[in-house]
Amino acid sequence: FCSALLTHGLTTGVADAQLQSGLVGYWSFDEGAGFVASDSSGNHRPATLVNGTRWVASGAIDGALAFDGVNDYLIFGFEPQKTISISAWVYAQGPTDDPLPKIIEVPGYVLFLAQPGAPGARTMSLGFHSRRSGQEGKWRTPAYSMAYNGWHHIAVVYNGSSTLNNPDLYID
C-alpha cells in the first residue's frame, strides 16, 4: 500500500513557502476507484494505475493502493528531476517472487524493497536506484532494517548534482 509525496530543490530546514515552490506532486491515493490517482499539489500531474493495481479503503492514512509485487505499478507524469525527495507509507505483506519489488518508479529513479535471499525471510531493507546522474548507482539500507506485516514511513532525499552522489534513506 502506498501514499507518495515528491519534491525537488529542497534543503534541510525547509520553510513552508519553499516546500510549496518545490512540490512536484502529492498523491494521497484515497480516491477508492478508477484508474487515475489525482495530484493534490495543484500541479495537475495525475498518476495512472497499471496492471491491476487496486484501491483499498484502509491505508496508513485513509485509502491506499495495493500492488501484487509482480507487475503492478503507477505511471507518474512529470519530467526527471536532478534533486528529489520521495516519501511514502508502505505496508509489505511478505516476500514476493521479485527480490527487488518497486515501491515507486518515477522518471530517473526507483525506490524499492530489497528482500533477503533466504526463502521465508521475515525482514528486508529499503533501496534506491538513480539513473539520472553521471554516476548511476544503487544504494540500500542495512539488511533487516524493515519488517513485513507493518506500516513503515519511508523517504529518500537525493541530489544528483552533488559530488558525493549519495542519497539519504529514512525508515520510520
User: CB 34: neighbour CB atoms within 10 A?
Assistant: 10
- Helix H, strand E, coil C: the string for the chain is CEEEEEECCCCCCCCHHHHHHHEEEEECCCCCCCCEECCCCCCCCCEEEECCCEEECCCCCCCEEECCCCCCEEEECCCCCCEEEEEEEEECCCCCCCCCCEEEEECCEEEEEECCCCCCCCEEEEEEEECCCCCCEEEECCCCCEECCCEEEEEEEEECCCCCCCCEEEEC
What is the distance between the alpha carbons of residues 139 and 74, in angstroms, rounded to a whole number? Answer: 22
| pLDDT value for 12 | 36
Pairing verdict, β 137-140 and 109-114: unpaired
| pLDDT value for 151 | 86
| pLDDT value for 36 | 93
| pLDDT value for 163 | 62
CA 120 to chain centre: 24
| pLDDT value for 3 | 42
Residues of the chain with pLDDT under 70: 1-21, 116-122, 132-135, 163-164
Q: What residues contact residue 97 under an 8 Å CB cut-off, 6+ apart? A: 69, 70
| pLDDT value for 33 | 93
| pLDDT value for 35 | 93
User: CB 161: neighbour CB atoms within 10 A?
Assistant: 10
